């Protein structure tokens, strides 16, 4: 009889070993799938995991792209992890990401075509506030009425998606765009552009902000009272209340902060790599970030690594698609497998597996 | 074996012969790369690009290497995919959806030695970007002639994707051609706000049929509208983008087929010969980019003759689907007697012609 | 504008067909959530059911066998979720999202050979004179077997949850798994069964889409129907009867707006399409604001992992 015994604290060894093990298992399972599709499994695995980093032809371009892809994932996931630690489940980051982009875009379009250094900071502020307010809706409803924040934040994603489509084909449509859906291109309007800070590095302000968020979250959780309260609430809600933590304030802080970071991620994306408000602007970063936060075990460093790993599978997956003619579907299935293995093996860090005789009922 | 060597020698000889006269950039082998917005087997838009690519590949054999990537999201991902393609040594890259417009121009700026071809767009910001499109409205004039004569309820339906000039000129072309042969016709337009959503397309077709429409034109990509027509039993439809012969002889009585193969063969050939030049192409039935599928046995002979007449007129250049006198929906004059529309007006068409009811969504 | 062209009864009939996939998937998710599990992988299970149902129907020539295949595939898919969340204690939300990602990829991969294939058609059920009743008969008695089965499922699930002992146990597990465990109920086993039922129903919903509503196979054809089903369960406040109503509203809104367009009515499509979600949030707020332990809305243990410590 196999029995699970919860570890008092997660095992450090297993925390380090399980992701590697999961990647190896995915390589085996995925390799079998690629082989079944008539491709050379070794070549496919190498293209996904090795080529974006070390291939002479691509790496100089792909490595910075890892940051571009991982930036928003990390930024959103850091915000989410705060709430997740306190047992506050904001899974509507996708909606907050969209609203941040829309709010920031509205400011940018308002000023178009004026020049001015103040425009971009205002857009960032608007993105932050837009995402924060959208995140505060489920927060406030939870505080006032006890409404389940998981469901409300999720429902607000659909609302935001509809609003995005309405903006792209309506109010924000580019008047010079020949009637096609989509706003003006912010990356091409100097005052609103979020370009690479140093050409060829992939580092735009969103990526920088993501790194700052990682450090800030690390400091917050290790050194700051708020971080302590967050952790305490997650581990022992009753104890937290006795020690004077206000659950309502905590809900609002966590929902607001995660919404704000997601909103900023949306703004940096729409002014940089994305370029414009369009119907497919939301490419699922908000949902993927939920996975990134949990794969990173809600630890800022873990999130950084998880974000980069996921970005690697995206970029490597793209390479594998056109270099080896692998169908896109197989890359999606491959990523799904990776997530399954990572989630499944997580057990090993939190629980000890004991082989024991079946206990007689007491 | 013998023949192969002979051919190779011949090719070598030709290469040498041209080497002196043609541009120094002539290539022995070219790599042509394609990005599709949907899966390569979507049954519509992307599939017909892919089939043309295969024809082009077969035409050139070993001389051309083809790489492609399907389901590429518009925006940042498209830009990365095209950059990676350029890095991998593609000589010419075809971006086969309107939404790739900004990405194509951005990447083209970074890789001046790679040729870029953007379908259905209008931006050519660098000397190495060309655009190409097809005059689908010519095909619609032919199918609408059939529809206008075959309707019993005099109610025609049009399933539009997005209110953009491409679609609006299709709607106008259908109405004008049908009205010409049957002054009693009315046209109802339904907007799906999607290029590809089979369930919604089916619902849209059903809504049209439920309200008495008995001829359906669609500007979306799936076969769902034809399936609904088939279920209804007495509703006429047409293949869109593809021939869709499996629905013949009824409800599919004819079709408009996209055939990009002639263009791809020509442009890749130009790269091989080192004679590629920037261009803006908009070809129709005459040059074979738009083909009309066989009129099925369900079409009466006199109707076939009438449709053939329209088609012959377009090919000969004696008939233009948009010929004056023509008024806009609000009654203002647009084209004088005998005047034909300019390509610029056509490409920016954002109004209905007189007689169509309803408004274009804003 | 010509509203008289819209026949109310025909519109109702279209609306019922359009809402059947989300009704089936929503009923499954309702049972899962009542057992205290939040499975966000409905979209992934639905699309798997769509291709599996389509493929089995094409090969067997029988739509009914197709539906069985769709249900089986949905259940098999949900088993991944069950093992990960119930035995390996993985986070339910992350696992559900991963399931959706995997399902979309997997179905597209398996379905490559079926694009353009034609499934066997399922005829309408012959209800004799009933379907000749003017109006009402047109709306309700001219459908295929699956529509009636979905209605029956609403009643059966209502009966199961509120009138049977097993249903009571399932709800107890969903409200407070520690208490249920202390009373000697097999929390994990009950949840796995519920998850598999949810998977099977999602699979049926997907198969309805690919076999009857559209009917064809293309990758990604569910285009968000699974997510609508998740929202629908909340709208219904976890009650089967309200779920039926909700399915008609959520499924009907598209049909309605398309019909209004045909009739020449200008409507802001995107704003209309967000309205069911806003209504759902409102319902949720009202339910939670009404206070009282019973009206709290969501099942008490929704989304939380269970690990027996003793």
Question: A touches which chains (3+ CB pairs under 8 A)?
Answer: B, C
User: In angstroms, what CA-CA distances link A217 with A102, A261, A291, B152, C193?
Assistant: 26, 12, 18, 69, 40
Please tell me the distance from the alpha carbon of residue A256 to that of residue B144, in angstroms, as a whole number.
55
The residue of chain B with its CA nearest to that of C111 is B41
Q: Which residues of A touch B169 (CB under 8 A)?
A: none
Hey, are the CB atoms on A158 and C231 less than 8 Å from each other? yes
Q: Is the dihedral of CA A314, A315, A316, A322 positive or negative?
A: positive
Pairing state between β B92-95 and B155-160: unpaired
DSSP structure class, residue A186: G
> Helix (H, G, I), strand (E, B), or coil: what is residue A194?
coil
- What pLDDT, on a 0 to 100 scale, did the predictor assign at position A175? 86
Task: Using pLDDT thresholds of 50, 70 and 90, give the confidence band for residue B18.
Answer: very low
Please provide residue B30's backbone torsions phi and psi, each rounded to the nearest 5 degrees.
Answer: -125, 155
Determine which of C143, C229, C262, C263 to mutate to test the interface with B (most B C-beta atoms within 10 Å).
Answer: C262
Partner residue facing B81 (CB), from A57, A182, A318:
A318
Is the model's pLDDT at B4 over the cut of 70?
no
Cis peptide before B359 (omega within 30 of 0): no
Please tell me the distance from the alpha carbon of residue A75 to that of residue A92, in angstroms, as a whole number.
14
The closest alpha carbon to C69, from C79, C78, C58, C80, belongs to C58
Return the higher-pLDDT residue of C127 and A136: A136
Model pLDDT for residues C85-109, shown as the tens digit of each residue: 999 999 898 899 899 999 999 999 9
* ipTM of the complex, rounded to two decimals: 0.88
Cβ–Cβ contact A188 with B under 8 A = yes
Model pLDDT for residues B144-190, shown as the tens digit of each residue: 999 999 999 999 999 998 888 889 999 999 999 999 999 999 999 99
Report the predicted TM-score, pTM, of the whole model to 2 decimal places: 0.89
Q: Is the dihedral of CA B264, B266, B267, B268 positive or negative?
A: positive
Cβ–Cβ contact A168 with B under 8 A = no
A351, β-bridge pairs: A6
Residue B239, H or E segment: strand B236-241
- Residue B240, token pair as written in the block: 């869109």
Task: Using pLDDT thresholds of 50, 70 and 90, give the confidence band for residue C310.
Answer: low
In a domain, A125, yes or no: yes
> Residue A11's domain spans which residues?
1-39+326-362
- What pLDDT, on a 0 to 100 scale, did the predictor assign at position C307? 79
Residue B263, H or E segment: helix B261-273
- Closest-CA distance of chain B to residue A180, Å: 5
Pick the CATH number of B29-134 from 3.30.1330.60, 3.50.30.40, 3.40.190.10, 3.40.50.2300: 3.40.50.2300
User: Per-residue pLDDT for chain A (362 aa), expressed as one digit of tens each?
Assistant: 577 777 777 777 887 888 889 999 999 999 999 999 999 999 999 999 999 999 888 888 889 999 999 999 999 999 999 999 888 989 899 999 999 999 999 999 999 888 889 999 999 999 999 999 999 999 999 999 888 888 899 899 989 998 998 899 888 988 887 778 889 989 888 888 888 888 878 889 999 999 999 999 999 988 888 888 888 887 777 888 888 888 899 999 999 999 999 999 999 999 988 889 988 888 889 999 998 998 888 899 999 999 999 999 999 999 999 889 898 899 989 999 999 998 888 888 878 877 765 554 44
Query: What's the mean per-residue pLDDT of chain B?
Result: 88
In a domain, A46, yes or no: no
Q: Which residues of A touch B96 (CB under 8 A)?
A: none
Model pLDDT for residues C253-273, shown as the tens digit of each residue: 888 888 988 888 877 877 888
Q: Which residues of A touch C285 (CB under 8 A)?
A: 141, 145, 147
Partner residue facing A162 (CB), from C103, C270, C288:
C270
For residues A100 and A147, state if they share a domain. yes
Model pLDDT for residues B206-258, shown as the tens digit of each residue: 999 999 999 999 998 888 899 999 988 899 999 888 888 888 788 999 999 98
Question: B touches which chains (3+ CB pairs under 8 A)?
Answer: A, C
In a domain, A260, yes or no: yes
Hey, are the CB atoms on C93 and A89 less than 8 Å from each other? yes
Model pLDDT for residues B36-64, shown as the tens digit of each residue: 988 888 777 888 899 999 999 999 999 99
Determine which of B171, B207, B246 to mutate to test the interface with C (most C C-beta atoms within 10 Å).
Answer: B207
For residues A276 and A197, state if they share a domain. yes
The residue of chain C with its CA nearest to that of B189 is C262
Please tell me the distance from the alpha carbon of residue C99 to that of residue C104, in angstroms, as a whole number.
8
Q: Which residue matches tokens 């969903």?
A: C174
For residues A146 and A227, state if they share a domain. yes
Q: Which DSSP string corresponds to chain C?
A: --GGGS-HHHHHHHHHHHHHHHHHHHHHHHHHHHTT---TTHHHHHHHHHHHHHHHHHHHS-HHHHHHHHHHHHHHHHHHHHIIIIIS---HHHHHHHHHHHHHHHHHHHGGGGTT--PPPPPPP--GGGGGSTTHHHHHSS--HHHHHHHHHHHHHHHHHHHSHHHHHHHHHHH-HHHHHHTT--HHHHHHHHHHHHHHHHHHHHHHIIIIIS----TTTTTTHHHHHHHHHHHTTT-HHHHHHHHHHHHHHHHHHHHHHHTT----HHHHHHHHHHHHHHHHHHHHHT-SSGGG-S-TTTT-------
Q: Which residues of B touch A329 (CB under 8 A)?
A: 39
For residues A130 and A239, state if they share a domain. yes
Is the model's pLDDT at B9 over the cut of 50?
no
Quote the crossing angle between the two packed helices A328-350 and A300-324, to the nearest 10°.
150
Q: Which residues of B touch A318 (CB under 8 A)?
A: 69, 77, 80-81, 84
Model pLDDT for residues C59-80, shown as the tens digit of each residue: 999 999 999 999 999 999 999 9
CATH number of C3-296: 1.10.3470
Cβ–Cβ contact B299 with C under 8 A = no
Model pLDDT for residues C205-243, shown as the tens digit of each residue: 999 999 998 888 988 888 889 999 998 998 898 999 999
Pairing state between β A2-6 and A351-355: antiparallel
- Closest-CA distance of chain B to residue C152, Å: 24
Cβ–Cβ contact A327 with C under 8 A = yes
DSSP structure class, residue B113: T
In a domain, A53, yes or no: no
Look at chain A and report how many structural domains it folds into.
Answer: 2
Interface of C with B in 94-133 (CB under 8 A): 108, 112, 115-116, 118
For residues A197 and A307, state if they share a domain. yes
Q: Which residues of A touch B33 (CB under 8 A)?
A: 322
- Closest-CA distance of chain B to residue A124, Å: 19
Interface of B with C in 17-76 (CB under 8 A): 39, 41-43
For residues A228 and A353, state if they share a domain. no
CB B12 within 8 A of CB B224: no
For residues A352 and A254, state if they share a domain. no
Cβ–Cβ contact A166 with C under 8 A = yes
- What pLDDT, on a 0 to 100 scale, did the predictor assign at position C293? 46
Quote the crossing angle between the two packed helices A225-235 and A247-271, to the nearest 10°.
110
> Helix (H, G, I), strand (E, B), or coil: what is residue B133?
strand
Is the model's pLDDT at B14 over the cut of 80?
no
The domain ranges of chain B are 29-134, 136-258+289-347
Max Cα–Cα distance, chain A, nearest Å: 78
**Cα C15 vs. chain centroid, distance in angstroms?**
15
In a domain, A55, yes or no: no
Residue B291, H or E segment: strand B290-292
Q: Which DSSP string corresponds to A124-140?
A: HHHHHHHHHHHHHHHHH
> Helix (H, G, I), strand (E, B), or coil: what is residue A191?
helix
Residue A167 class from Cβ within 10 Å (0-12 exposed, 13-18 middle, 19+ buried)?
A: buried
A5, β-bridge pairs: A352
- Alpha helix (H) residue ranges in A55-92: 59-85
- What pLDDT, on a 0 to 100 scale, did the predictor assign at position C1? 57
Cβ–Cβ contact C34 with B under 8 A = no
Is the model's pLDDT at B2 over the cut of 50?
no
The residue of chain A with its CA nearest to that of C224 is A158
B241, β-bridge pairs: B257
- What pLDDT, on a 0 to 100 scale, did the predictor assign at position C129? 82
Please tell me the distance from the alpha carbon of residue A292 to that of residue A328, in angstroms, as a whole number.
21
Is the model's pLDDT at C196 over the cut of 50?
yes
Cβ–Cβ contact A202 with B under 8 A = no
Partner residue facing C89 (CB), from A91, A329, A347:
A347
The closest alpha carbon to C99, from C42, C49, C51, belongs to C42
CB A152 within 8 A of CB A137: yes
Q: How many CB pairs under 8 A join B and C?
A: 91
Hey, are the CB atoms on A327 and B70 less than 8 Å from each other? yes
Q: Which residues of B touch A325 (CB under 8 A)?
A: 67-68
Please tell me the distance from the alpha carbon of residue A277 to that of residue A165, in angstroms, as a whole number.
9
For residues A289 and A140, state if they share a domain. yes
Question: C touches which chains (3+ CB pairs under 8 A)?
Answer: A, B
Partner residue facing A147 (CB), from C93, C273, C284:
C284
The residue of chain A with its CA nearest to that of B123 is A177
Hey, are the CB atoms on B206 and C14 less than 8 Å from each other? yes
For residues A203 and A120, state if they share a domain. yes
Pairing state between β B155-160 and B215-218: parallel
Hey, are the CB atoms on B222 and C216 less than 8 Å from each other? yes
Model pLDDT for residues B305-320, shown as the tens digit of each residue: 999 999 999 999 999 9
- What pLDDT, on a 0 to 100 scale, did the predictor assign at position B17? 37
Q: Which residues of A touch B350 (CB under 8 A)?
A: 179
Residues C202-217: b if buried by 16+ CB within 10 A, e if exposed: bbbbbbbbbbbbbbbb
The residue of chain A with its CA nearest to that of B194 is A279
Give the CATH H-level superfamily of domain B136-258+289-347: Response regulator (3.40.50.2300)
């Amino acid at each position: 009889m196999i029995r699970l015994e919860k570890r008092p604290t997660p095992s450090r060894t297993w925390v380090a070993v399980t992701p590697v093990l999961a990647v190896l298992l995915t390589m085996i399972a995925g390799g079998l799938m690629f082989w079944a599709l008539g491709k050379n499994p070794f070549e496919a695995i190498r293209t996904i995991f090795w080529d974006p980093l070390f291939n002479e032809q691509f790496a100089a371009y792909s490595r910075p792209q890892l940051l571009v892809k991982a930036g928003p994932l990390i930024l959103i996931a850091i915000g989410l992890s705060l709430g997740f630690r306190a047992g506050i489940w904001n899974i509507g980051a996708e909606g907050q990401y969209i609203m941040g982009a829309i709010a920031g875009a509205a400011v940018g379009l308002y000023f178009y075509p004026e020049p001015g250094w103040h425009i971009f900071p205002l857009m960032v502020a608007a993105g932050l506030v837009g995402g924060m307010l959208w995140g505060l809706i489920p927060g406030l409803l939870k505080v006032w009425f006890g409404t389940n924040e998981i469901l409300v934040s999720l429902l607000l994603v659909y609302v935001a998606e509809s609003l995005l489509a309405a903006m792209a084909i309506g109010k924000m449509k580019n008047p010079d765009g020949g009637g096609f859906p989509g706003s003006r291109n912010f990356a091409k309007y100097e005052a609103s552009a979020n370009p690479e800070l140093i050409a060829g590095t992939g580092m735009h302000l969103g990526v920088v902000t993501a790194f700052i968020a990682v450090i800030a979250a690390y400091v917050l959780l290790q050194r700051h009272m708020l971080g302590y309260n967050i952790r305490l609430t997650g581990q022992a809600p009753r104890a937290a209340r006795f020690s004077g933590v206000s659950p309502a304030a905590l809900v609002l802080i966590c929902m607001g902060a995660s919404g704000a970071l997601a909103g900023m991620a949306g703004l940096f994306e729409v002014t940089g790599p994305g370029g414009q408000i369009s119907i497919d602007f939301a490419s699922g970063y908000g949902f993927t970030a939920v996975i990134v936060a949990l794969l990173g075990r809600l630890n800022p460093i873990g999130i950084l690594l998880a974000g980069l790993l996921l970005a690697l599978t995206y970029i490597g997956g793209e390479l594998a698609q056109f270099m080896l003619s692998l169908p896109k579907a197989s890359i999606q299935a491959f990523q799904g497998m990776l997530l399954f293995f990572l989630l499944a093996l997580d057990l090993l860090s939190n629980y000890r597996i004991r082989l024991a005789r079946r206990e007689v009922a007491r | 074996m013998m023949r192969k060597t002979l051919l190779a020698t011949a090719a070598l000889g030709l290469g040498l012969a041209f080497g002196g006269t043609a541009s120094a950039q002539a290539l022995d082998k070219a790599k042509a790369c394609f990005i599709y917005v949907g899966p390569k087997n979507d049954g519509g838009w992307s599939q017909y690009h892919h089939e043309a690519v295969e024809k082009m590949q077969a035409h050139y054999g070993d001389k051309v290497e083809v790489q492609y990537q399907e389901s590429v999201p518009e925006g940042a991902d498209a830009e990365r995919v095209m950059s990676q393609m350029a890095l991998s040594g593609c000589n010419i890259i075809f971006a086969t959806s309107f939404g790739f417009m900004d990405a194509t121009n951005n990447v083209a700026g970074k890789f001046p030695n790679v040729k870029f071809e953007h379908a259905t767009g209008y931006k050519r910001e660098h000397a190495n970007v060309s655009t190409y499109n097809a005059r689908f409205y010519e095909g619609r004039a032919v199918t609408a002639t059939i529809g206008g004569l075959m309707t019993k309820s005099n109610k025609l339906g049009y399933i539009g994707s997005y209110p953009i000039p491409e679609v609006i000129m299709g709607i106008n072309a259908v109405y004008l051609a049908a009205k010409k042969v049957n002054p009693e016709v009315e046209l109802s337009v339904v907007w799906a706000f999607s290029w590809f959503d089979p369930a919604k397309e089916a619902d849209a077709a059903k809504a049209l049929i439920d309200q008495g429409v008995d001829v359906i034109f669609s500007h979306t990509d799936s076969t769902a509208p034809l399936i609904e027509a088939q279920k209804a039993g007495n509703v006429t439809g047409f293949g869109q983008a593809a021939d869709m012969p499996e629905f013949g002889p009824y409800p599919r009585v004819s079709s408009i087929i996209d055939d990009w193969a002639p263009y791809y063969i020509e442009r890749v050939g130009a790269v091989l010969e080192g004679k590629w030049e920037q261009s803006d192409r908009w070809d129709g039935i005459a040059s074979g980019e738009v083909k009309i599928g066989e009129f099925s046995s369900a079409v009466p002979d006199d109707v076939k003759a009438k449709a053939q007449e329209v088609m012959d007129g377009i090919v000969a250049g004696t008939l233009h689907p948009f010929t004056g006198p023509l008024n806009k929906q609000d009654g203002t004059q647009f084209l004088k007697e005998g005047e034909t529309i300019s390509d610029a007006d056509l490409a920016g068409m954002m109004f209905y012609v007189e007689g169509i009811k309803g408004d274009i969504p804003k | 504008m010509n509203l008289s062209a819209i026949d109310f009864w025909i519109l109702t009939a279209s609306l019922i067909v359009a809402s059947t996939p989300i009704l089936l998937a929503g009923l499954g998710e309702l049972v899962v959530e009542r057992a205290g599990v939040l499975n966000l992988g409905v979209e992934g299970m639905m699309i798997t059911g769509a291709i599996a149902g389509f493929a089995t129907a094409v090969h067997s020539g029988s739509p009914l066998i197709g539906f069985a295949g769709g249900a089986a595939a949905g259940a098999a898919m949900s088993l991944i979720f069950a093992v990960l969340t119930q035995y390996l204690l993985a986070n339910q939300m992350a696992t559900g999202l991963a399931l959706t990602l995997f399902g979309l990829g997997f179905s597209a991969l398996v379905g490559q050979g079926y694009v353009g294939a034609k499934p066997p058609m399922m005829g309408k059920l012959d209800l004799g004179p009933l379907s000749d009743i003017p109006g009402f008969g047109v709306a309700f008695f001219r459908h295929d077997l699956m529509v009636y089965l979905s209605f029956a499922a609403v009643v059966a699930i209502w009966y199961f949850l509120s009138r049977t002992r097993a249903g009571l146990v399932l709800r107890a597990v969903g409200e407070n798994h520690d208490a249920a465990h202390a009373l000697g109920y097999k929390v994990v086993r009950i949840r796995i069964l519920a998850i598999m039922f949810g998977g099977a129903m999602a699979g049926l919903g997907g198969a309805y889409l690919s076999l009857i509503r559209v009917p064809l196979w293309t990758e990604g054809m569910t285009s968000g129907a699974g997510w609508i089903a998740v929202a629908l369960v909340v709208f219904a406040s976890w009650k089967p009867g309200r779920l039926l109503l909700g399915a008609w509203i959520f499924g009907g809104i598209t049909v309605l707006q398309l019909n209004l367009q045909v009739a020449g009515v200008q409507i802001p499509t995107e704003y209309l399409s967000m309205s069911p979600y806003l209504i759902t949030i409102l319902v949720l707020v009202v339910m939670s604001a009404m206070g009282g332990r019973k009206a709290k809305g969501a099942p008490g243990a929704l989304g939380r992992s269970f690990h027996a410590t003793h």
